[in-house]
Every structure is written in structure tokens, then in C-alpha cells.
Amino acid sequence: MIDSFIEGNRIFLEKDFERKKDRYMTLVESQHPTVLWIGCSDSRVNAERITHCRAGELFTHRNIGNIVPTHDWNFATVLEYAVRHLKVKDIVICGHSDCGALKALDADMTGDAYIPMWINNAREAQVRVDARLGKPASTPEEKAARKKEIEIENIRLQIEHLRSYPLVADAEKRGALEVHGLYYDLNTGVLSRIA
């Protein structure tokens, strides 16, 4: 597999890097992204690819379930750097269909030590959807609809978590920052606004 990465890099150098060398050379000294993109680690959801962005346009943080934890040094550091130092104008939380993290909310995770603790950051999304829709559905159509509702509600929940950070609340209040929720559908390739 590593050999294929090296070959892919050779193709990148030939077809992209060398042809757009001036653009890449501007990125050598500094970066000036205007967006902090918070997305899922899922290998099918590459932010630059689904938005057709170029290198240097997105400052990206990915984790299981596109979660914005409220007490996590790694996330807080990314957020602080993006808002205070890069001065991003927008923060996007992007969820997606067929999210394994959100499916795991219903799964028996006995034997896993870390995943259950992490996805508890999304548990409230499941609770809210089940309060609206009633007990978990039984038909395949109802199960699919519930799953999608949880994925979308999780984006809203993570926006709430994001706004609990004082530096985000302050930047929004000053009009220096906007927060957005997006949902990517793997079946159609469509990226939609949620919030």
C-alpha cells in the first residue's frame, strides 16, 4: 500500500504540483485558510474533494463522528489556533450519511474501551431524535429515517458544543465568525446546509 502512496505522490507532482508551482510556493511560507472544517474521520468524506477546495483553503479537524467535545485539549487547541491566529471567518461542522460513530450509539460496544466514551459526546442527538420519533423504528425505512435524523441532529448538537467555547461565542457576537452545519450524502454526493 505504501508503494501506491509514493506512486500517487509522483502523479501529484507531475499533474498538479509542477503545473501549479506558484500556488504551492505561496503556501511554503504561511497558510491563510478562511474556514475551519470539522468533519468525520470517515475515509469516504474528504473535505477538499467534496468541496473542490485547493490546498490552503481549509483548516481541517477530523475525528470519529465530527464531534466537538467540550473538554478536549486537542480540539480546543485546533479551535483556538483557527480563530485567534488564522482568523478564520467560518467554521463548518460537516456530518454525513452512514456514519459509523452514530450507528455505534445503538451498538453493544462491550470490549471497546475508547469508542463508547467518545461517542457519548453525540448521545444527546440520539435522545432528542428518539423523543421526537418515539421508540426506535422497526421497518428498514423507519430505521433509515431515524439514522439520518440522528446524523443531522448530531450536527446541530455539535454546533451547540462549539458555541459553548467563549472564543467562538465572542467572535460570533462581534460578527467576526459564522458557524455552519453541513450534511454530506454518500449516495448522491450532495452537500446540504443544515444550520
User: Which positions are annotated as active-site residues?
Assistant: 40, 42, 44, 96, 99
Q: What is the DSSP letter of 138?
A: -
Q: Whole-angstrom Cα distance, residue 103 to residue 43?
A: 16
Q: What is the DSSP letter of 34?
A: S
CA distances from 161 to 2, 3, 66, 75, 133 (A): 37, 41, 12, 12, 23
- Find the DSSP H helices in 58-165: 73-80, 100-103, 115-119, 123-133, 140-163
